[in-house]
Structure 1
Amino acid sequence: MSDLSSSTSSSRADWASPGAGITGGYDGNSVSLKIIIVFFAGLAMYNSVELVAIILFTFKKYQGLYFWSLLLSSIGILPYALGFLLKYMSVTTGNARWGAIFLLTIGWYPMITGQALVLWSRLHLLLQGSRGDKIMKYTKWMIIINAIVLHIPTTVLTWGSNGDPGSAATDIFVYGYNIMEKIQMVGFFCQEIVLSSIYIIETARILRESLQPGTRRTLQQLVLINGVIIVMDLGLLGLEAASLYILETLTKGVIYSIKLKLEFAILGKLVKFVGGQAVDDTRKASVGFVPADRNSTSIDNNMNISEFVDLNRVTTDVSYPSQTSDSLPSRRKSARQVGRDFEYEFARFEHLEAVTTLDDEISSSTPSSKAANEHV
């Protein structure tokens, strides 16, 4: 037990020692580390606020699993980063330290499991048939079981390890937390590997069948983003394996915010790609995107054209598109009218041709008849 106590006290003095930062904040004199703590925590919170704003202004309807999982996961980054900022900078001390633990705990749940739900909620865009239903079912239960098995024990050990420094009970919790932290990191890493691998495999299968350049570009970006997600998770796993707790927890908020931005960016293109296929109402509702009304005025029509067009040279109203030229019924009507005009002109041409031919025949026969009469 004395070894655990000495390990805990030394970890609080040296941030690079294994397990540093688990109990209490950072009491060292490294100004560089304090700058890193503030920078990474601030960057994660900034990305969280930016993501929430983009999500709320992008979605037309606030519904669907994708919308809520993306929103809650983005919001969760804010208390997670704020809690570790208060903890490491020793802003909250004494009994107030439980406020920082509470913030990082309630932020950790939606940030981790919420991000997995973001990936899961998009799987149906690529999976089809009974095989797709089975994959959706198994991955759903994987996320649920991991949330129960990995979140709850880690939370208990987190609260216990932030008890009174140096006490025997706290040292036991720290020892258990060092083990459980690695288990939950590996578990969530495997979970995201499974989800990202499904995207890569299904996308590669579609790429072999698709010949359209726009489709291939979108799917290649999807493969690239999921590959980047796996690489970033490997980086976090490496920090955890080295027991660099402070760096691992600081970079986790930034990395998860970047992953959410990448996933949000590619989903819009993926929805447009699937939009050309037969997608039922359930899938559309789960995605959360609502196609724009074709009869409504688009954004391009609402632009101020006076910024790039000299209106003094324009004699007609160009504020709105021509209804007769753009609407499908008018185009069909004009096409039928052109067909009728062509038939009429063709018949008129035949009539005039016949009349001209008759006149020529009459005019050519008239002199010969006169000559015959004179001869007689």
Structure 2
Amino acid sequence: MSNGFETLAIHAGQAPEARTGAVIPPIYQTSTYAQDAVGAPRQGYEYSRSGNPTRDALQECLAALEGGAVGLAFASGLAAEDTLLRAVCTPGDHVVIPDDAYGGTYRLFARVTERWGLSYTPARVSDPDAVRAAIRPGQTKIVWVETPTNPLLGIADIAALAAIAHEAGALLVVDNTFASPYLQQPITFGADVVVHSTTKYIGGHSDVVGGALVVADPELGAELGYHQNAMGAINGPFDAWLTLRGIKTLGVRMDRHCDNAERIATFLDGHPSVASVSYPGLSTHPGYEVAVKQMRRFGGMVSFRAVGGEEQAVQICNRAKLFVLAESLGGVESLIEHPGRMTHAGAAGSPLEVPGDLVRLSVGIETVDDLLADLEQALG
């Protein structure tokens, strides 16, 4: 098979079904499977927590798109993160995390894994020296990176951080949710594990919740697969099928997301009601040169800070009409939110607290002139 991205997205793990020739993988909506004899399951399937053909198709496709050895699908992005941490880390270990990480990831570290003895240090992942300084020799097991980061859209140099992590005997884990595998493949730059909320761009239609891990090392993949089964936070067959359906159009959707986001970032960059814009496709972005090196294009996420402060940022969100006021991101529809009071509210008062005047946009694939007109009226 060709290894072109769009070809893999449509065909990897998704050969026509053998019995009928159906071109779309069936939804194997079953909890258990008949066995030919005691200890002799057919084609290895015995119970759908342990294995399901629809989920296997998704997992094979995800691994192919990220250039990894093993893909694993989970009930949510946080379920994938939790499984990874519990498989790799033990009490007393340490993790470096972004100092503007996704609020749910921060909550997992600060409210859940810290209670069983996993410590963490926030660091600016766009600064390799800051990451190196945050590592605790002999204790740090993971350097955890988002690139772009959520919500400030910082850019991390994956290759540089892979070298730093590996020198310290740690794994480099990259949350690739904002970029998607169409725009960026962290494993090709040295990452050990890629994390996704497949709810976002991979699913792409705001109708399914899921998560994924893709790993470079088959042995680590087998260990994570064991924990996926033992912990049980698996992706159900219908959710896996919906996610596969979304993957088929990922490339064409991402191109339109990028087209629209580039127009909107340029518009905001010159608007008198906007103090600053964070978008890695702007040449003024401090991570622009690194983004050019490791990304195909710059994504559909744009953040900006309002001139009038927090209350003005909230009013901009409330005045938007075509941009839907909602959490999440990566769907075909455009969304607007106030991170400080919505997705990142749990980080208030912590080192990861986001600016109160920040607005985050998930730019959809609508007609861009309609989106620009909505932002113009929302900005007042």
Q: TM-score, normalised by structure 1?
A: 0.24
Higher relative contact order (CA 8 A, sep 6+): 1
The structure with more strand, counted as a fraction of residues = 2
Highest Rg: 1 or 2? 1
The structure with more helix, counted as a fraction of residues = 1
Q: TM-score, normalised by structure 2?
A: 0.24
